[in-house]
Amino acid sequence: MKTLEKKTVADYEALPEGSPYQLVEGELIMSPAPGFEHFRSSKRVFVRLYRLIEDAGKGEVIYAPVDLYLDEENAYQPDIMVVLKGSKARITSKGVYGPPDVVVEILSPSTAYYDLRVKKKVYERAGVREYWIVDPMERSLEIYTNSEEGFKLTSRAVEKGKVFSKVLDVDLDLEEVFKEV
């Protein structure tokens, strides 16, 4: 039986610019374009975070596609990243190196497994302080805060209500994220 050779950041960077791949635990995973509800949810979360973080001078909110390099076998393009002033993460012309303070992933049918399982473990291991999972189909938002025991669910709302980010010290109203046009 032939085993697949693990890929590295060097292999990932050799791909043509704009290639629809992420490097997940040494495997190149194709990420097709997301659907419209994904786009709408990510836009609304980004705008809210931009107003709360960048307008207040607390840091930078980064919208996909921007590469996030966590180690030699993991290079992702999260939907949204927040890098606060004084963060461990470094923003360069090639992307973000090291764990952002907050990573937001918007679930899509083609990427949900990786977002909920594999990437979540890597984000936890890398030291991402908070991991947000937005599910446009369920109309839910979950916030996991990293602790000595790993990610712990600290805030969740479905369809209505608010979630609270301990790291950013802000709340987000689900009606703003999932409102009808």
pTM exceeds 0.85, yes or no: yes
Q: Is residue 151 part of a domain?
A: yes
CATH of residue 71's domain is: 3.90.1570.10
Shortest CA distance to 39 belongs to which of 49, 29, 51, 47?
Answer: 47
Q: Is residue 24 part of a domain?
A: no
Contact 101, 82 (CB under 8 A): yes
Backbone angles phi, psi at 161, to 5 degrees: 105, -175
Q: Is residue 162 part of a domain?
A: yes
**For the chain, how many structural domains are there in total?**
1
Report the distance separating Cα 5 and Cα 90, nearest Å: 29
**Mean pLDDT confidence for 149-164:** 96
Contact 159, 174 (CB under 8 A): yes
**Mean pLDDT confidence for 139-157:** 97
The predicted structure's pLDDT at residue 68: 97
pLDDT band at 19 (very low <50, low <70, confident <90, very high): confident
Backbone angles phi, psi at 42, to 5 degrees: -65, -40
Q: How many CB atoms lie within 10 A of CB 159?
A: 10
Q: Which domain holds residue 97?
A: 32-178
Q: Is residue 18 part of a domain?
A: no
Cβ neighbours of residue 45 closer than 8 Å, sequence gap 6 or more: 79, 80, 104, 106, 132, 134, 172, 177
